[in-house]
Amino acid sequence: MKEFFEENERTAPATDARKYVEVGPLDTKSGGRLPSVKVAYETWGELSPARDNAMLICHAVSGDSHAIGWWGKLIGPGKAIDTDRYFVIGNNLLGGCQGSTGPSSLAEDGQPYGSRFPIITIEDMVEVQYRLVQALGIHGLHAVIGGSMGCFLALEWARRQPLPVRKVFASAGCPRSNAMHIGFHETARQAILRDPQWRGGDYLPHKQPADGLAVARMIGHLTYLSPAAFETKFGRRMVETKEHSTCSLPVFQVESYLKHQGEGFTKRFDANSFLSISRAMDQYDVPHLKGAKSEFLFASFTSDWMYPPALSEELHQMALAAGCRSRHVIADLPFGHDSFLLDGEIQARALSEFLSNRSK
């Protein structure tokens, strides 16, 4: 079980290599305003003299700027996203809690935004990313890459083209959250909202609604793996522990796993950020890719019951209808939605070939 924990978790950085840039005030799509926005980011590799080898990595709901840690199967020297060849940018999204402006950031009065943080959208997040890329002196991207929710950001880059984007890779994505996705997200949000420590969103930093946030993460993990993966990894096996039972009876391994994931999440994430980002994800919708000028690669996984291949196929057909070159790779892997993080072979081969081909 320990090996599964290790392969299914992000690799934290040995040292904090985050950098920060202020990108000015932001008027959000919802009508809110942030007087100043800070972005936390990290980079790997060197920007070429022509400044044409930069790529942006877009993270999922709980991700951060340390892309080489949470997507280590794809990013690094000699890997598909080769940091010896490309200048790779990872950033913590607007609304996050790992250095970029979010609900836990201090407002002008010196207090956390909390419930005062405005409603944000995927479009707002991309606007902030665009300003970051501009601040780095980059005027075009070789690629924008995202997995899970990160696909929404990559697609929005292709749709808006605030800067030229040669290629877009979207793994385990969809054109919009469907009713089931929204239902899971809302159930997770309700776990937070019903925690006594919620206090309308204006909780103290050291007294966040940790119990609700832990349950929200547990709900998320139920969607990340396939039923077959749960059965293979856990089945009905038991573990000895006193943590779940007043009578010290053994508990199921899957119970221990979910508790482990929930508690660990509360140590690195903020409840308000979860609410803000998940709502932005639910609101986003890609009706078409008209106007996009990028080349696309979509990857999906047969065991991903939350984001099955049919949803990536819909995006692939949108790209073709828009006159763009596009390819859809379907990987037959048993890990469920987390396949996009765990697969370092099938999607890696397709991605390496896609990025190396400079025909467009």
Residue 320 is assigned to a structural domain of this protein:
yes
Alpha carbon of residue 284 to chain centroid: 14
The predicted pLDDT at position 9 comes to: 54
> Of 337, 338, 339, 343, which is the active-site residue?
337
Residue 247 is assigned to a structural domain of this protein:
no
Cα separation, 88 vs 76, whole angstroms: 9
Residue 111 is assigned to a structural domain of this protein:
yes
Residue 337 annotated as catalytic:
yes
* 33-82 pLDDT tens trace: 999 999 999 999 999 999 999 999 999 999 999 999 999 999 999 999 99
Residue 316 annotated as catalytic:
no
The predicted pLDDT at position 358 comes to: 57
The predicted pLDDT at position 54 comes to: 98
Range of the domain at 23: 2-180+281-356
Cα separation, 105 vs 314, whole angstroms: 38
Residue 273 is assigned to a structural domain of this protein:
no
Residue 75 is assigned to a structural domain of this protein:
yes
Domain total in the chain:
1
Residue 88 is assigned to a structural domain of this protein:
yes
Please report, for residues 160, 179, 187, 229, the alpha-carbon distance to residue 225 in angstroms, rounded to integers and kept in the order given: 33, 19, 18, 6
Q: What are phi and psi of 47, to 5 degrees?
A: -75, 130
> Of 62, 100, 105, 148, which is the active-site residue?
148
Q: Is 1 a residue whose pLDDT tops 70? A: no
Contact 309, 301 (CB under 8 A): yes
In eight-state DSSP terms, residue 92 is P
Average pLDDT over residues 339-351: 97
CB atoms within 10 A of CB 20: 12
CATH at 130: 3.40.50.1820
Residue 252 is assigned to a structural domain of this protein:
no
Contact 299, 71 (CB under 8 A): no
Give the pTM: 0.94
Residue 273 annotated as catalytic:
no
Residue 227 is assigned to a structural domain of this protein:
no
* 242-271 pLDDT tens trace: 654 555 678 999 999 999 999 999 999 999
> Of 304, 326, 328, 339, which is the active-site residue?
304
Cα separation, 104 vs 116, whole angstroms: 10
Q: What sign results for the dihedral spanned by CA atoms 73, 78, 82, 87? A: positive
